Amino acid sequence: MIKPRNMMLLGLVLLILSPLVLPSYQITLLNYIGLYALVVLGLVLLTGVGGMTSFGQAAFVGLGAYTTAYLTTTQQLPEWLAWTAGSPWIALVFGLLLTAVVALLLGALTLKLSGHYLPLGTIAWGISLYYLFGTLSSMGGHTGVSGLPSLQLFGISLDKGEKIFYLIWAAVTGAILISRNLLNSREGRAIRALKGGQLMAESMGVNTFRSKMAVFLISALFAGLSGWLYAHTQRFVNPTPFGLSMGIDYLFMALIGGVGSVWGALLGAGVLTMLKQWLQDLLPILLGSDGQYESIVFGLLIVFMMQRAPGGLWSLVIRLIPARYQADTRLVVNDAAADLPRRPLPAQGTLVLEAMNVTRRFGGLVANNKMNLQLHAGEVLALIGPNGAGKSTMFNQLSSVDTPTEGEVRFLGQSLKGKNSRAVASMGMSRTFQHVKLLPAMSALENVALGAHMRGNQGVISASLHLEREEEQRLLKEAKHQLERVGLGAYLYEEAGSLALGQQRILEIARALCADPCVLLLDEPAAGLRFQEKQALSDLIKKLKTEGIAILLVEHDMDFVMGLVDRIVVMEFGEKIAEGLPEEIQTNPAVLEAYLGGAE
Ligand code: ADP
Ligand code: MG
């Protein structure tokens, strides 16, 4: 039987043999496919995984290409660069450094933009860099420069397509390995979490801006490397291949191939390059050589493919492969991995979280008005009240997702003024969301492992090289343990999106527990749960309480609340109208009128 790993080896062997058997015209095409695939791989990470659309990747290709063109063809380099002596390899280092600096600057300017503004921003700098290349008079303006040297490697001159072929495809293979390693890591999960929304990712302790920057930088470097290789393959550069229209083509390749997977990049680059070539060869024969029919047909075909395979061609290919030949992508959990260190919990009864006169106004609306509440270690406190009473707003003030207009929140004796939700999460507050925020296409195990983000510290580089396996094993073991703890041990490898809503809520609790919290905020945890699931949830909360975790929950289900919690705070119109033991609340006339009456 052919295992996926053997398939990859077979592919590699075919690749190595192809220059020996294929005509050089085909090799040139394969070289281009490799060069494009490098850029598209970056887009898979940036757009497919990170959710950021960039039309500007071609400009980064240009930076890599133009740096080496400048350094290797200029006769009289300025003094401080003279030592580089026209070496393409030193030019590669310079090119990547320049790409990194430009990417960091552009990233700082554009990555904070949201919605349509980010893609528009990438179009803007894509165009500016293109015109910059065209105005560099020392680089031949729009005509470009020729006479770039061919690369020398181990004394071999890579002066023919069949030779540089190996370097290009070695770079592609390296980029694929790096991308795959990165995606299966703690930092990779953080990048994937960007699609689940900033709010959720930050609450799990992910520095979303840093994650965006990291993936933006990696995608720019892949593009810069492609540009360097391109320049020495062509041995000629001009601005045309680095313009906006090429930037759009790269995006097409990513979308057509399948922007969600590393192999989609390869497929997309291959299919679009071949398609263009065939159309160029074929259409003039069929339709005559006047008119740009190939561009028109090409555009129509792209629309057609997007219609037919919105997830990209790779997802179609995957569906056609019989299950037994498919790669087993399940992450192996090593039960022998060491346990992660635990946070010392405050002694039972210690005051851990306190709201003092918290007021939050939205324009004229007072969503929280002089709210006071206290939460102690080992206590379960319920926050109840009719819809719109301000409970979720209160949650946001307590977890620093939002800042009170007036008043103060204190957590473990510290004021939360000026602290963001990430800082609060790292202090030990963890939460679930009223509207479940999971990554539906990711396994339950990986979703939960995201909760342990703050308990690891290995960065992007060690992740790319898979030097962080020991820590990763510990994080995954913790995630598995928490899933088993909440009773989802049988669903480790299910896609989170395929679970029932009730299970998704429980999954969020496991994710929150993975952060090893001392305070747990649960926003309507029992909504959508069946009777037995509610029982199980109730048991779990009681168990967490005896361990010394402080739990604050918002809940509508009165039966669920009454048998479970120690104290209740009742809100209406942003204000606290009652506080006390469940039995007191049940008979409080103001509550009966406001809450029970209001909720029917
Ligand atoms: P609950 O969770 O108790 O149902 P919320 O805290 O969600 O209530 O909402 C309380 C009130 O504050 C509602 O009237 C809601 O419309 C308003 N509100 C909540 N968030 C915002 C916001 N970001 N901007 C303006 N109004 C808001
Ligand atoms: Mg709410």
Q: Give the pLDDT score at 387.
A: 87
Q: How far is the CA of 532 from the centre of ligand 1 (A)?
A: 31
Q: Which ligand is nearest to the CA of 393?
A: 1
Whether 374 and 380 have beta carbons less than 8 Å apart is answered as no
Q: How far is the CA of 391 from the centre of ligand 2 (A)?
A: 5
pLDDT tier for residue 396 given thresholds of 50, 70 and 90: very high
Atom of ligand 1 nearest to the CA of 386: 3
Q: Between these two residues, 259 and 231, which has the higher pLDDT value?
A: 231
In this structure, which amino acid lies at residue 495? E
Q: Which ligand is nearest to the CA of 571?
A: 1
pLDDT tier for residue 197 given thresholds of 50, 70 and 90: confident
Q: Give the pLDDT score at 564.
A: 92
* Mean pLDDT of the 189-206 span: 90
* Mean pLDDT of the 465-482 span: 92
Q: How far is the CA of 358 from the centre of ligand 1 (A)?
A: 15
Summarised one tens digit per residue, pLDDT across range 113-136 is 877 888 899 999 899 999 999 888
CA distance 424 to 210: 18
pLDDT over 80 (residue 286): no
Pocket of ligand 1, beta carbon within 6 A: 362, 365, 367, 385, 387-393
Ligand 1: which residue has its CA nearest to atom 22? 362
Q: Which ligand is nearest to the CA of 387?
A: 1
Sign, CA torsion 281/284/286/287: positive
Q: How far is the CA of 429 from the centre of ligand 1 (A)?
A: 22
pLDDT tier for residue 596 given thresholds of 50, 70 and 90: low
Ligand 1: which residue has its CA nearest to atom 6? 390
Summarised one tens digit per residue, pLDDT across range 411-439 is 999 999 999 999 999 999 999 998 999 99
Residue 360 Cα distances to 202, 249, 405, 410, 574, angstroms: 21, 48, 5, 16, 9
In this structure, which amino acid lies at residue 59? A
Q: Give the pLDDT score at 311.
A: 81
* Average pLDDT score, the chain: 89
Q: Give the pLDDT score at 600.
A: 43
CA distance 341 to 515: 11
pLDDT over 80 (residue 567): yes
In this structure, which amino acid lies at residue 138? S
pLDDT over 60 (residue 347): yes
Q: Give the pLDDT score at 325.
A: 72
The pair of structure tokens assigned to 527 is: 């909504």
Q: How many residues does the chain have?
A: 600
Q: Which ligand is nearest to the CA of 434?
A: 2
Q: How far is the CA of 367 from the centre of ligand 1 (A)?
A: 6
Ligand 1: which residue has its CA nearest to atom 13? 388
The pair of structure tokens assigned to 450 is: 């995201």
pLDDT tier for residue 599 given thresholds of 50, 70 and 90: very low
Atom of ligand 1 nearest to the CA of 554: 2
Q: How far is the CA of 390 from the centre of ligand 1 (A)?
A: 6
Burial 246-266 (b: 16+ CB within 10 A, else e): bbebbbbbbbbbbbbbbbbbb
Q: Give the pLDDT score at 595.
A: 65
pLDDT tier for residue 112 given thresholds of 50, 70 and 90: confident
Could you tell me the residue ranges of all domains in the chain?
27-255, 348-428+517-600, 441-516
Summarised one tens digit per residue, pLDDT across range 504-543 is 999 999 999 999 999 999 999 998 888 888 988 999 999 9
pLDDT over 90 (residue 242): yes
The pair of structure tokens assigned to 553 is: 């929950």
Atom of ligand 1 nearest to the CA of 434: 2
In this structure, which amino acid lies at residue 235? R
The architecture in CATH of the region 348-428+517-600 reads 3-Layer(aba) Sandwich (3.40)
Q: Considering the chain, what percentage of its residues have pLDDT values greater than 90?
A: 56
CB atoms within 10 A of CB 528: 14
Classify 350 in phi/psi space as left (phi over 0), alpha (psi -120 to 50) or beta: beta
Ligand 1 binding pocket mutation candidate from 393, 433, 522 (most atoms within 8 A of CB): 393
Q: How far is the CA of 387 from the centre of ligand 1 (A)?
A: 9
pLDDT over 70 (residue 47): yes
Strands 380-384 and 567-572: parallel
Ligand 1: which residue has its CA nearest to atom 24? 362
Contacts of 440 (CB under 8 A, 6+ apart): 495, 496, 497, 498
pLDDT over 60 (residue 178): yes
